[in-house]
Amino acid sequence: MLAARIHSPGGIENLKLDNIEEPEINDGEILVKIKLAGFNPLEYNLINGKVVYSVKPFPHIPGSEVLGEVLNDGRMVKKGDRVIIYNRIFDGNCDLCLSGRENLCYNGGLWGVITNGGLTEKILISERNVVKIPESIPDDIAVSIPIGALTAYHALRKANASAGKSILIYGASGNTGIFAAQIARIMGLRVYGVSRKTWVKDYGVLKTFLMDDIPETMSFDIVVNSLGSRFWESSISHVKQGGSLVSFGVLTGRETTLDIATLYTREIQIVGSTGGTRNDLMELLKIMETNQFRVPVAKKFKLEEIKDAISYYETVRDGRVLIEI
């Protein structure tokens, strides 16, 4: 079967399309035929050797966000089921796993980073990572759940999002930003965005700002910064007294400075968030089953066109890049 594999870290020239053997099914594992994969900053940076995680094994198959079809019966899923992959590897035995925080497992990590991922025709994975998707959720939305939607939902929950609050989302036109806006609106929040893209208003954003054009007197109960250090000073300055700044990305850098006095005198909470739990995912699916979500798709590529997809990804400014397999 065909797979996109990185043979050594550090650049697209190390990515090759290889014919590899189909995996053999073991007890408790599910064979999934991949239909669609999302291409995210995670995959782009992994291929270019710029991730903050340890990548293994090599040669390595990237891809942490996929939609597929089950090829063998398990205990909870059956042959023919339409599924996504919960993309956190976890041991299920540590105190974090036992308390329902599999995303923080001491011995775990991201599927597609610390293990081979989904940019291939078929994958074999533990059944506990396989999640059946309601037919009411379209493919383009379903494939965007494991990273875009789940990351946004977990971050909002950690920031104690609730009806009546206000939220400002930096990078509102990005994958997580689009889902954060839609989920926050469904939760009853007043949603604002920092983006040059006025079309984000179609996704639940009431008003957009450029970073330098946010009125100094304007503050929000929750500020989402998924972009990193370049936007840190601006984002923390617009957190309301007693409010929360939630961070889950370092696209523009990972180091910054902090005025500690501002932090404690205004009782601001800085919330770190990563991925999401399996319980978050179940809650999110119930929300998505009864509410209409949208995601802009810029272009779809075949797996054989993966290098073209990467080159296009470097230039695209609006919408998702998806890989059809």
For 230-277, what is each residue's pLDDT tens digit?
777 788 888 999 999 998 877 666 777 777 778 888 889 999 999 999
Q: Looking at residue 180, what DSSP letter applies?
A: H
Is the pLDDT score of 23 beyond 80?
A: yes
As a whole number of angstroms, the distance between CA 82 and CA 132 comes to 6
CA distances from 113 to 22, 52, 59, 249 (A): 20, 10, 12, 16
* Beta-strand runs (E) in 166-260: 166-170, 190-194, 207-209, 220-225, 239-247
Measured from the Cβ of residue 249, the count of other Cβ atoms closer than 10 Å reads 22
Q: What is the mean pLDDT of residues 112-116?
A: 96
Q: Where are the alpha helices (DSSP H) in 161-212?
A: 175-187
- The predicted model gives 165-183 an average pLDDT of 95
Provide the strand spans (E) within 71-182.
82-85, 88-89, 109-110, 122-126, 130-132, 166-170
pLDDT above 90 coverage of the chain, percent: 75
Mean pLDDT of 154-181: 95
| Interval 129-137 mean pLDDT | 96
Which amino acid type is present at position 11? G
| Residue 52: predicted pLDDT | 63
Helices 150-158 and 175-187 pack at an angle, to 10 degrees, of 50
Which CA distances in Å does 143 have to 41, 82, 294? 15, 11, 12
* pLDDT computed for residue 82 by the predictor: 98
26 — pLDDT class (breaks 50, 70, 90): confident
Nearest CA to 175 among 11, 25, 295?
295
Here the tokens at position 205 are 């954003």
- Residue 155 vs residue 53, higher pLDDT: 155
Give Cβ neighbours of residue 265 (< 8 Å, ≥ 6 apart).
none
Q: Report whether 171 contacts 194 (CB < 8 A).
A: yes
**Spatial separation of the C-alpha atoms in residues 94 and 176, rounded to whole Å:** 29
Whether pLDDT at 229 is above 70: no
pTM above 0.85, yes or no: yes
Which comes out higher in pLDDT, residue 51 or 192? 192
Percent of the chain having pLDDT more than 70? 98
Which domains, ranges and CATH numbers included, belong to the chain?
2-144+295-324 (3.90.180.10), 148-272 (3.40.50.720)
Distances (CA, A) of 293 to 44, 99, 105, 144, 178: 25, 30, 30, 11, 10
CA distances from 244 to 78, 129, 147, 214 (A): 42, 31, 22, 18
Mean pLDDT of the 75-80 span: 95
- Supply the DSSP symbol for 214: S
- In the chain, the DSSP E strands lie at 2-6, 15-19, 29-39, 66-70, 82-85, 88-89, 109-110, 122-126, 130-132, 166-170, 190-194, 207-209, 220-225, 239-247, 269-272, 297-302, 320-324
